[in-house]
Structure 1
Amino acid sequence: SGRALPGSKARHSERKPASPLGVASHPRDLEGTISLHRDGYAFVTPDPALPSGADVFIPPPFVAGAMPGDRVRVRVRPGSRADRLEGQVVNILQRAHTSVVGIFHRDVRGDYVQPLDARLRERIRISSEGQAKPGKPSRHRVIGDQSRAHTSGDLDGMVVDVELTRFATGVAPAQGRILEVLGRRDDFGVDVEIIIRKHYLPHRFSESALAEAAAIPAAIAEAVLLDRRDFRSLPIVTIDGESARDFDDAVLVRPLAGGHFELQVHIADVAHYVQPGSAIDEDARQRGTSVYFPDRAVPMLPLELSTNLCSLRPHEDRLTMSCLMEIDAEGKIVSHELMPGVIRSAARMTYTQVNAILEGDTALRHEFAPLVAGFEAMAALQKVLYAARMRRGSIDFDLPEPEIAFDEFGLMRSIVKSERNIAHRLIEEFMLAAAETVARHLRAAGAGRAGDPGAPNPAEPQAGGVAQPRQAPRQSIVESVYRIHEQPELKKVLDFEQTAAAFGYSLGLGPLPVKQMRVGGRSVSIPQEGKFRISPRHYQRLAEKVAGKPEERILSFLMLRSLKQARYSANNAGHFALATDCYTHFTSPIRRYPDLMVHRILKSLLASEQPPPDLRSRESLEPKCRRCSEQEREADDAERELMDWKKVRFMEQRLGDEFPALILHANRDGFFVELEDQFIEGLVPASALDDDRYYFRSATQEWIGERSRRRYRLGARLTVRVDRIDPVRMQIHFAPVPAP
């Protein structure tokens, strides 16, 4: 069940500005991972991190042939700006990848491949031994079609996967040989194949993993059930989307006396089937997460597990890790139990069905009559839990999500706002409650083992109904994986406050801590992070103020951009957006490796055993958490890039068409708009503002006409025309349509 948690994904790039304080002014060598930008420059993230948390900026001439993800050594020197470090790559220590996907071309100087990754701007020469010989067939694989053979004369314009036999040096070009011919760019399914390879997503399971999966018996042995709680007689159900195939959570809600509720959340016991160190486990670890494309998924686990043995399919016995909670009328979890279980789902429900039942659909209420009372109890509990979460200050950006319909050729047919109904909301609240309960249990049990007299009891009431002052999160000696979301950076908050003020709004923080300093002969505003305090309630209150107003979309979008990305860590730092000091991911072990790690730790704790060796110490857990965070971001980028590709192809058929749009962002290149009700973004370049001479005012992020005084500012609505499509860079350019 692919559900996004509030504040869990901020889909924007964050580059931390370097404070000049504490940075040596003389050159020094650092090691780290490089990330490239399509304009040629790069950033290196030092490892270990600098005290300021800053990345190192690498100007285009000094990238020295490094590729995205490479581990490099850089020589750092004071930058041309007071607020960042600059450097140059002096050595490439480890290559991240050895293949590139691109388009094959032939010219008089020989064959070459132009990478499809806009960050890789240099051609790759195909060496003579890597060229397809005349008449020699090469595989041409097309999704949804049979494999076909093509001779070398057919390769021009084909998308190919190239193994690099010599890397670019900054002086000499890279060389390579063709590994695979994927097809023409517009062939059905080739776009997914390109994205998979461009983002280096593992997409083929090892023979060992497939053999292990096939060898797992389908029947559950009676001995396995001896130490499990039996829930098979209860009316437990799964609630998912219509197209879902992997069901990793099932729920039951029952009213109790005094306005209390019993909430049962049952999660697929993947850890029972996937043993540490197995081939299946190794493949899952390399993936870190499942990746979901509109017409295809790249699963973390073999299908025999993800859609069969682990999936909580209806009317079949399935093993679970179960979380039972008693919740009072104020939304506090007053007690809980965690245990291995076995369930037999009574029904595979969809969000649409449950929503219709709760809205009074007579036919569905009759069809699922034995379950209706349970659904009504779920709706009642959802209101209680949501109200409690809002009282403690949790942020809930109810931003619309696009839902895309495709035709039989894989082309976009339409984009509409996806429906988020009460069924989505109740599952979201139940998963949040279970994940927070597990996180608190692990933290409390560990602190108790340490002999901490102040350690919380696993069954003590949790903060649900009332807001609590933020305290330093307690750490435990039973280490675990936490989902953390740190306080936003002061600079991001300052930028947002400046923009919000133009709309007449504020987060209500009062005077912000900024100190003026002389750096390099200039006066620079230095944020004083140590004196900076902000709570999620500031965001929540502003979100409530703008709800339903014309500026809601732009301000919600900008608030989200001001927040950090959530990530995994062995160091519990709390979750800012959820307004909780302890949170983890527990409810999706079929598709997320961090959840599987949490399950292993929890099962060891419940059995009074040591966790697997690689999960016992914070030192061993933290690199795994960091890698899982990187894999999550890569999967997000891949999913988003494929959607962008689909949108570009959709708009290619609409050149010259006009659409109402909203300005989301502005810079010196122009401004970015989102088509209203279409969820398609594109650039209105400054060159398209040709009815006047315009200049950019950075303080207010607006373009102003010198003669007409016409203004294009954030949040403004206008009509735009589809002016140009760049399918290689996947960019849509618009031009403003003059008002009548």
Structure 2
Amino acid sequence: MVTEQQLLDFMRETAYKPMTYQELEQHFDIEGASEFKAFLKMLNQMEEEGKVLRTRTDRYGVPERMNLLRGRLQAHAKGFAFLIPEETGHPDVYIHANDLKTAMHGDTVLVRVTNKGFDGARLEGEVVRIVKRAVERVVGLFQNYESYGFVIPDDKRINRDIFIPKEDMHGAVTGQKVVVHIVSYPEGRAAAQGMVAEILGHKDDPGVDILSVIRKHQLPEAFPDEVMAEAEAVPDSITEEEIISQRRRDLRGMNIVTIDGEDAKDLDDAVYVEQLPNGHYKLGVHIADVGYYVKEGSALDREAYARGCSVYLVDRVIPMLPHRLSNGICSLHPRVDRLTLSCEMEFDEKAKLVKHDVFPSVIRTVERMTYTNVRKIVEDEDPEVSARYAYLVDSFKLMKELALKLRQKRMNRGAIDFDFVESKVLVDEKGVPTDIIKRERTIAEQIIEEFMLAANETVAEHFHWLRVPFLYRIHEEPNSEKLFNFMSFAANFGYVVRGKGNSVHPRSLQMLLEEIEGTREQTVISTMMLRSMKQAKYDAEMTGHFGLAAEFYSHFTSPIRRYPDLVIHRVMREVMDNGGALPEKRLEQLHARMPDIAQQSSERERVAVDAERDTTALKKAEFMLDKVGEEFDGIISSVTSFGMFVELDNTVEGLIRLSELNDDYYHFHEQHMVLIGERTANVFRIGDEVRIRVARVNMDEHTIDFELIESKSRHNGRDFGFDIRKKRGRGGFGAEGRGGAGRSDYKGRKDGKGGRPGERDRGGQPRNGGDTDRGARGGRSDRLGGRDSRPTERFDRGRRADRPAGQGTRGDGRADRHAGQGMPGAGRADRRTVTGIDPAEKQAYEQYGASSTQQLRGGYGRDQHQHEERLERDARYERHNNGDAVEHEADAFAGDWYNQGEFREQQRGRRGRKGRREEQGRGVNPYEKSSSAPQPRGKGGINFGAGQGNAERPAPAKKEYDDSNWVDRLISDAEQEADRPRSFDFGSGRGGYGRSGGNDQGGRKPGRDGGSYRGSGTSGGKKGRRTTSESGIFIGEDAAKARNQGESAHKAARQKGKANSKTAKFVRKKR
């Protein structure tokens, strides 16, 4: 019988062409009715799961061979999403909100790649099919509308409210947090429908906040009865017979200790160090043998697999295993016998590993030590604590000595060590936060950290060379583009990262961290470095750990709280019991299961980290709730285009919005990460000390707003060499309105030039006195860089626009001006696509992403979420870091992709509404009424010949054209169209193909979107009219004439070097 993998491998072969099920049956020699029935069942199931596709001719193939990708959606609160492909190494694919169909965050979908970015790496696509729904339950705020209700999801990535019929409200009232079970998913304009499954309580009730986070992330609390029954059957002590029968090494006579935090209960690791007669160090790391009690395939094992890891929230722990195991027989309590797996290592005087051994053992720890007491012994030399543990003092000093040598050796090989400050929120018995304290990283924490790293590396290498299936912890090298962006960012502060091309050894990055230690830019450079790296994850193949500069690494030391460690323990025991090898059949079983365990464990780890961050941010906001109006000292931790983040001494972080800075108008300089005052030249930069007042606390978003009282570190922009002056601008062309108003310099020394006159209009007037952001009279509120006479609140909108240097305003909202020079309106709008931007802007985009140049987006530049919020805070203003020093979540979700998402939304220009135009210049809106007034013809346009229409011609097929060879494509299409019958009745006017979409003979043809075409000629005595196809091309009857005209115009355009001819392009008409 053919297997699923065999079928997929066959379909992925280069020579494979889609086959029918009969052809597949013949190829695999399937005989017998039962075998054929099983084959069809497997084929249908694979089709439902999206692993294979069936064409219209009932032929089967794999998605990747049909320009389709299968993967998981990661949505964003602003509506767009990215596909995370299942295909290893494939770049993520951006999906516009209009192309998501009804897919939701987390869904498994099939996506067709529709466009490749100008750099070839940034892909764009559309959802073709939803394979599997991920969202089954939603936690949110209930709103009652009498005959029906809606639930607003807490997870902003689910941007559709859930409709609740009256009969499914189940007593919920407005203001309550509820859990909703999805009954039907959104379809077309219809919202998703659900029923209230659980009422958590009013949003302000004690405990509801944490409970909402637990339900939001679907964290399991209570264990199933079957699991609890197995846990109760586990003995709470061990016998001598067990020790002897399992041939465990007896280490109960050694001074082995545990070192943990004061509130730790699951003690799964213990250590011992002694100095050998030859001067070497002998280190023993002993880990609880959880795999002995949790058998593979048992109810305990299945539950541990589903949970993945323990989750440590602010006020509780959600364990991976029941407390009877995690806090009982598997916890290494002092002075009781416990079964363990031990890794003993011998290091020479330079901390080089010279010998190691891995074996099952039994231990009896002598003390339950805390980090605080160990620090008092080895660092503070506290006499009282030293006297209490006098028989262990020498051992602890030896531990310190070895740990420092191991650390130095690790740093020398290039391991990266991020030293971020972490905090802990203390709560009372009701869950109310009482204090926030910093978590110190003392020598005691470093001792355990270094010993666990050494054991993990040793175990990983040991079993790698045994060639047995294993789970590894890997950290891939950073993406070359992100690494280059970081190196450029660091260079702005005067730091050079050594490397070859786009490849950097981790040692170079660690050297940079050492160089910036103690400087005011340490935080921002460390954070940006962390963002440039990929996430660490679990994998069945060992590819190395970049952050640790280690060739082999695994997680072996925490089997009570991490499922991969538990799996590793079972494999280790099985290998040791079988003399270092496994039977072939068992090897195949393990090889098949390890990738799935790695993926599941990585996903559950991310869920746990998200939940922990959510509860921490929630409680920090609650802690500051009664401190509104109070003043604190803080340090600027981040600077963005919409404000600056200030971190207080207790690690609480809040935002000072630009709209709250009333002493000046500030500009954001992204390369230097500073805000500079336009009038005073005052500078705010990272590391500056400020005095703030707590202004607002938003408990729904878990955010805090500050007001600036005093800056203790005043700088002047000129002191840093910043040129805060801008050149005199020039107004834009008008389109049935006045020209744009000119722009003066910041100090008002010079007036800007008036705008050039539009068609039948007078030019704009210059402005005096440095009124730098006045829009053209009569202009629209959405024009690039202008502002409405009655602005509305949107994000942190200031009163003036951040416009590029020397750039005038647009007349009547129809023409985008570029670099100080307006462009004609009426269909000749500069659409600001990738191919149409200024070379300097394009270079900035390629290097830093769309957010580096605010020219790429209209409106107020300060309104846009810059990368400080997008990458790290995710609208919660919380810095992301976790236990693994080199792991980071932000890149997985947004990263530079947020920049791309914003940019693609502008590029596609599909968010317009009737009677309005998109911010980025869409030409003339197809829904505006046509004007009979003649319009200027676009430069670089090509006219295709005139001809008489014929009503029998079928509609031309829709085509999209790229910008690289559009003329050749049009010529080819003209030849193909010549022999077809004509379909529309139109006049003899000639349609223009250029930036303006102009008309030669009195007609009017809209620009960007394509729309109605009105010819001035006659056909059968009547005015002709045709509706443009998606390409918006008018093809005359005489194809040869059209070709000659096209070639002539193209050659002329090239000779004159007109850049605009390269950007001419129509998009498909409004659906």
Are 1:36 and 2:75 matched, yes or no?
yes
| 8 Å CA contact retained: 1:614, 1:621 | no
Deviations 1:583-642 (A, max 9, x none): 111000000011111112211221225389588554531232122111111111110111
**Equivalence for 2:647:** 675
Decide whether aligned partners of structure 1 residues 659 and 590 sit closer, same or farther in structure 2, where only a CA change above 3 A counts: same
Decide whether aligned partners of structure 1 residues 576 and 80 sit closer, same or farther in structure 2, where only a CA change above 3 A counts: closer
Equivalent-residue separation in structure 2 for 1:56 and 1:657 (angstroms)? 46
Equivalent-residue separation in structure 2 for 1:162 and 1:724 (angstroms)? 31
Of residues 55-64 and 37-46 in structure 1, the stretch that sits farther from structure 2 once superposed is 55-64
Equivalent-residue separation in structure 2 for 1:204 and 1:101 (angstroms)? 19
State which of 297, 301, 304 in structure 2 corresponds to 1:284. Answer: 304
Are 1:169 and 2:207 matched, yes or no?
no
| 8 Å CA contact retained: 1:76, 1:86 | yes
* Alpha-carbon shift at residue 700 of structure 1 (Å): 3.5
Mind listing any 5+ residue stretches in structure 2 that lack a counterpart? 1-62, 713-1071
* Alpha-carbon shift at residue 665 of structure 1 (Å): 4.0
Of residues 355-364 and 634-643 in structure 1, the stretch that sits farther from structure 2 once superposed is 355-364
1:723 maps to a residue whose letter is A
TM-score by length of structure 1 reads 0.82
**Equivalence for 1:381:** 402
Equivalent-residue separation in structure 2 for 1:239 and 1:25 (angstroms)? 51
**Equivalence for 2:169:** 131
Count of aligned residue pairs for this structure pair: 643
Are 1:336 and 2:356 matched, yes or no?
yes
Equivalent-residue separation in structure 1 for 2:431 and 2:237 (angstroms)? 38
Equivalent-residue separation in structure 2 for 1:698 and 1:223 (angstroms)? 69
| 8 Å CA contact retained: 2:474, 2:545 | yes
* Alpha-carbon shift at residue 169 of structure 1 (Å): 2.3
1:66 maps to a residue whose letter is A
**Equivalence for 1:144:** none
1:98 maps to a residue whose letter is E
Deviations 1:290-346 (A, max 9, x none): 100121001011111110011111111111001111111100111111111111111
Are 1:183 and 2:204 matched, yes or no?
no
Equivalent-residue separation in structure 1 for 2:687 and 2:188 (angstroms)? 43
Deviations 1:507-557 (A, max 9, x none): 233xx64xxxxxxxxxxxxxxxxxx32111111111111222333233222
Please give the secondary structure, in 2, of the residue aligned with 1:495: helix
Deviations 1:201-227 (A, max 9, x none): 222312111100001122323332121
Of residues 567-576 and 727-736 in structure 1, the stretch that sits farther from structure 2 once superposed is 727-736
**Equivalence for 1:692:** 664
Please give the secondary structure, in 1, of the residue aligned with 2:213: helix
**Equivalence for 2:680:** 708
Are 1:275 and 2:275 matched, yes or no?
no
Decide whether aligned partners of structure 1 residues 408 and 427 sit closer, same or farther in structure 2, where only a CA change above 3 A counts: same
| 8 Å CA contact retained: 1:25, 1:78 | no
State which of 579, 588, 591 in structure 1 corresponds to 2:561. Answer: 591
Of residues 74-83 and 393-402 in structure 1, the stretch that sits farther from structure 2 once superposed is 74-83
1:444 maps to a residue whose letter is W
Equivalent-residue separation in structure 2 for 1:324 and 1:483 (angstroms)? 21
* Alpha-carbon shift at residue 442 of structure 1 (Å): 0.7
Q: CA RMSD in A?
A: 2.4
Equivalent-residue separation in structure 2 for 1:551 and 1:30 (angstroms)? 41
| 8 Å CA contact retained: 1:247, 1:307 | yes
**Equivalence for 2:445:** 424
Within 5 Å, give how 1:405-424 maps onto structure 2.
Answer: 405-424=426-445
Of residues 72-81 and 108-117 in structure 1, the stretch that sits farther from structure 2 once superposed is 72-81
Equivalent-residue separation in structure 2 for 1:131 and 1:553 (angstroms)? 48
Decide whether aligned partners of structure 1 residues 194 and 56 sit closer, same or farther in structure 2, where only a CA change above 3 A counts: same
Equivalent-residue separation in structure 2 for 1:615 and 1:592 (angstroms)? 24
Equivalent-residue separation in structure 2 for 1:27 and 1:656 (angstroms)? 60
Please give the secondary structure, in 1, of the residue aligned with 2:627: coil
Are 1:64 and 2:101 matched, yes or no?
yes
Decide whether aligned partners of structure 1 residues 62 and 720 sit closer, same or farther in structure 2, where only a CA change above 3 A counts: farther
**Equivalence for 1:566:** 536
**Equivalence for 1:505:** 495
* Alpha-carbon shift at residue 482 of structure 1 (Å): 1.0
**Equivalence for 1:494:** 484
* Alpha-carbon shift at residue 381 of structure 1 (Å): 1.4
Deviations 1:646-701 (A, max 9, x none): 11222232333344444444444x14514131322333444334443334344434
**Equivalence for 1:93:** 131
2:377 maps to a residue whose letter is I
Equivalent-residue separation in structure 2 for 1:554 and 1:84 (angstroms)? 26
1:706 maps to a residue whose letter is E
Decide whether aligned partners of structure 1 residues 621 and 112 sit closer, same or farther in structure 2, where only a CA change above 3 A counts: same
Equivalent-residue separation in structure 2 for 1:239 and 1:622 (angstroms)? 33
State which of 241, 253, 267 in structure 2 corresponds to 1:247. Answer: 267
Equivalent-residue separation in structure 2 for 1:589 and 1:210 (angstroms)? 19
Are 1:122 and 2:112 matched, yes or no?
no
| 8 Å CA contact retained: 1:113, 1:124 | yes
**Equivalence for 1:102:** 140
Equivalent-residue separation in structure 2 for 1:309 and 1:26 (angstroms)? 53
1:682 maps to a residue whose letter is G
Equivalent-residue separation in structure 1 for 2:711 and 2:337 (angstroms)? 64
Q: Which structure would you say has the larger RCO, counting Cα contacts within 8 Å and 6 or more residues apart?
A: 1
Please give the secondary structure, in 2, of the residue aligned with 1:259: coil
Decide whether aligned partners of structure 1 residues 299 and 614 sit closer, same or farther in structure 2, where only a CA change above 3 A counts: farther
1:567 maps to a residue whose letter is K
| 8 Å CA contact retained: 2:257, 2:271 | yes
State which of 207, 211, 218 in structure 1 corresponds to 2:225. Answer: 207
- Indicate the structure with greater strand content: 1
| 8 Å CA contact retained: 1:663, 1:671 | no
Are 1:653 and 2:626 matched, yes or no?
yes
Are 1:643 and 2:661 matched, yes or no?
no
Decide whether aligned partners of structure 1 residues 328 and 170 sit closer, same or farther in structure 2, where only a CA change above 3 A counts: farther
| 8 Å CA contact retained: 1:354, 1:423 | yes
**Equivalence for 2:462:** 441
Percent of counterpart pairs with the same letter?
Answer: 42
**Equivalence for 2:250:** 230
| 8 Å CA contact retained: 1:614, 1:620 | no
Equivalent-residue separation in structure 2 for 1:59 and 1:183 (angstroms)? 36
Decide whether aligned partners of structure 1 residues 664 and 58 sit closer, same or farther in structure 2, where only a CA change above 3 A counts: farther
Equivalent-residue separation in structure 1 for 2:94 and 2:281 (angstroms)? 54
* Alpha-carbon shift at residue 724 of structure 1 (Å): 3.2
Equivalent-residue separation in structure 2 for 1:288 and 1:614 (angstroms)? 23
Equivalent-residue separation in structure 2 for 1:92 and 1:680 (angstroms)? 41
| 8 Å CA contact retained: 2:139, 2:153 | yes
Decide whether aligned partners of structure 1 residues 57 and 713 sit closer, same or farther in structure 2, where only a CA change above 3 A counts: farther
Of residues 223-232 and 702-711 in structure 1, the stretch that sits farther from structure 2 once superposed is 702-711
Within 5 Å, give how 1:313-332 maps onto structure 2.
Answer: 313-332=333-352
| 8 Å CA contact retained: 2:237, 2:329 | no
Decide whether aligned partners of structure 1 residues 713 and 247 sit closer, same or farther in structure 2, where only a CA change above 3 A counts: same
Deviations 1:33-56 (A, max 9, x none): 01111122111111224x5x3111
Of residues 399-408 and 242-251 in structure 1, the stretch that sits farther from structure 2 once superposed is 399-408
Within 5 Å, give how 1:504-543 maps onto structure 2.
Answer: 504-509=494-499, 513=501, 532-543=502-513
Equivalent-residue separation in structure 1 for 2:64 and 2:197 (angstroms)? 47
| 8 Å CA contact retained: 2:521, 2:686 | no
**Equivalence for 1:13:** none
Please give the secondary structure, in 1, of the residue aligned with 2:104: coil
State which of 276, 282, 286 in structure 2 corresponds to 1:262. Answer: 282
Equivalent-residue separation in structure 2 for 1:255 and 1:673 (angstroms)? 50
2:325 maps to a residue whose letter is L
| 8 Å CA contact retained: 2:520, 2:688 | no
Of residues 399-408 and 326-335 in structure 1, the stretch that sits farther from structure 2 once superposed is 399-408
Deviations 1:11-49 (A, max 9, x none): xxxxxxxxxxxxx99993322101111122111111224
1:434 maps to a residue whose letter is A
Decide whether aligned partners of structure 1 residues 721 and 234 sit closer, same or farther in structure 2, where only a CA change above 3 A counts: same
Equivalent-residue separation in structure 1 for 2:695 and 2:97 (angstroms)? 30
Equivalent-residue separation in structure 1 for 2:260 and 2:209 (angstroms)? 27
**Equivalence for 2:173:** 155
| 8 Å CA contact retained: 1:484, 1:573 | yes
* Alpha-carbon shift at residue 567 of structure 1 (Å): 1.0
| 8 Å CA contact retained: 1:118, 1:729 | no
Equivalent-residue separation in structure 2 for 1:368 and 1:738 (angstroms)? 50
| 8 Å CA contact retained: 1:610, 1:616 | no
* Alpha-carbon shift at residue 363 of structure 1 (Å): 2.2
1:595 maps to a residue whose letter is D
